[in-house]
Amino acid sequence: MKSSLRSFFSLLLIAVVAFFAVSAWRMWQNGRSPWEVFFPKNSHRPESFTLPDKPPLELADVELLSRLNDEYARLTQAVVPSVVSIDTAGVREEMLRDVWGRSQVRRQMTQGQGSGVIVTKEGHVVTNQHVIAGQQQIQITLHDGKSYPATLIGEDSLLDIAVLKINGDGPFVPLKLGDSANVKVGQIVFAVGNPFGLNETVTQGIISAKERSISDQQRDLFQTDAAINPGNSGGPLVNLQGEIVGINAAIFSPDKENPGFRGVGFSIPSNDVKETLKQILEKGRPVHGYLGVQMRALDSRVRQAIGYDQEIGCLVLDVQKDSPASLAGLKPRDVIIEYNGKPIESSNQLFTMVQRTNIGDEVPLKVWRAGEIITLKVTIAENKMASAMQSVLEAAQPQEPMDIIRNFGILVRSFTVLEKSRGLNGVLVTEVDPRGFAASQIQVNDIIIAVNQNTVQNAQDFYKQFVASAAVQATQITLVRGNVSLTVTLQSLPPKPKK
């Protein structure tokens, strides 16, 4: 046993001696002392250095840029206190069917985040409607970090604008809504908001273009290259005076799953925002113009049937009695080719222009009628159907939204991006309950394009409009079935009396 231990320690000693011998030999070859194997030295030697104490240019050499830099900072300091962060929470209800075909409701918690801007001393905030849509709780955080709950005063889904009121004591610092009619392509603008939840972010750019369209409803927008990212929605686009010239609404991003800025953002002009703001504050709702016609798009078959060979315009299918269109002399089979001097490319474009027209304005219509071009004058009226709906809602408590959908038995889906690129608009009816109230008038594969003449953008938009109407009144559904466009009327469900 002792002999084995002696042999082991002898081998270990030989290995250690060999290791240090080889290390010392390599150090000697590299010009270093072999003793450093046992007594290593710090190889770092302090370097001598001299840092410059003067910039390459004096401020006097770049006086213009220096003043511009100070003015940018001063502008930012003046604007940022009016920009707020908006956090939302709510419960979304989804109707599903189990394997036996029974309807079930699933409640899902939702959260959202966006931006807004204070526009009155009383604490009214303008933001995008899509920021707060369907949310039950709204929290606003100010520049100084204070948070307050907020109340929804009114919203305009057509323009994508909502007006909130901060439930707290001021003072609040508002920004002025500027005149967007004076905005020019190429002018400098700043986008302010809370992208990705980061507070008080300011980006600079220019107005890249005007009168841009990103959907049949969202038209005449400003395009800007000031960076806008998720979370910027609802924040202001300001000019060099700190005036609001637009409300940031959307970005162009080819990656829909991970949207990010690609140099193209869109903002709603401040004049449109100001008009809707005043209407909501004064009446609690937006006031939209009304024409009173049922339209359909032109295709080759329709053009051939009526003998019309132009590309622009849309066909009048029906004219409602005593409506502005009827009083102006519009007739079925007319083709509206211009509205207030602007060419008409689709019925959705026409309805959007009508809804944005001031009530009482007299507008010229250029119309093709049986081979002749005539000009009519139409005086735009208020959409009384929307006003009546609001009055009834104030007088009665409607049924629960999911109860209404179940009773009518209509399920729809939005069109995909590919389907929209092929010209499909509205929503597709996927299921109709044969026991539902709509079974005799709505069919699977119908394309619903409007509710009460208000265009439908997606499934959420359809359910929102349909539930609000069907709970209290007869509801007009404009749809396309095969190659035929028609309007059906669904009778209302009796509302529950207020307790």
**Is the distance from CB of 191 to CB of 205 less than 8 angstroms?**
yes
- Measure the CA dihedral 16/20/26/29, to 10°: -140
Alpha carbon distance 135, 161 (integer Å): 15
Alpha carbon distance 73, 75 (integer Å): 5
Q: How far is CA 375 from the centre of its chain?
A: 37
Q: Catalytic one among 85, 87, 124, 130?
A: 130
Burial class (CB in 10 A: 0-12, 13-18, 19+), 18: exposed
Q: Is 446 a catalytic residue?
A: no
Q: Catalytic one among 160, 225, 272, 446?
A: 160
Alpha carbon distance 345, 361 (integer Å): 22
SS3 282: helix
Report which residue type is found at 223. Answer: Q
Q: Which of 107, 104, 105, 113 is nearest to 92 (CA)?
A: 107
Burial class (CB in 10 A: 0-12, 13-18, 19+), 421: exposed
Q: Is 309 a catalytic residue?
A: no
Q: Which of 172, 175, 174 is nearest to 190 (CA)?
A: 175
Q: Catalytic one among 85, 208, 233, 270?
A: 233
Q: Is 160 a catalytic residue?
A: yes
Catalytic residues: 130, 160, 233
